[in-house]
Amino acid sequence: NEIYNIRSNERKVISQNYAEYNNIFVAINNIPNGFTETKNNIQISITKYLEKLSELQGIENEKFYKEGFSDAISLIFNCYKEY
């Protein structure tokens, strides 16, 4: 099914995001050991942010699918009414 296939441009974006995510943690790991608590707090903050971002994307996806389903049903009923 086309919807489940990852296109090359999508694959590129995923790869770039993964590289950026790794760069952040490389930068954090380069913070001197004397700042362990700061490093940990940065990592926790980033993780919480990404979890919230993922949650928001899930909410947006749910709204999109519900609207799409409703639109499809409405279209079917409208076509049925015309006949």
- Chain segment 8-22, per-residue pLDDT in tens: 777 787 788 878 888
How confident is the model at residue 32, as a pLDDT? 93
Q: Which residue has the higher pLDDT, 72 or 53?
A: 53
How confident is the model at residue 69, as a pLDDT? 73
How confident is the model at residue 72, as a pLDDT? 73
46 contact partners, CB below 8 Å, separation of at least 6:
24
**DSSP-assigned letters across all residues of 31-79:** S-GGGHHHHHHHHHHHHHHHHHHHHHHHHHHHHHHHHHHHHHHHHHHHH
Find the DSSP H helices in 2-35.
Answer: 8-29
- Whether the CB-CB separation of 33 and 11 falls below 8 Å is answered with no
Tokens of 20: 């950026």
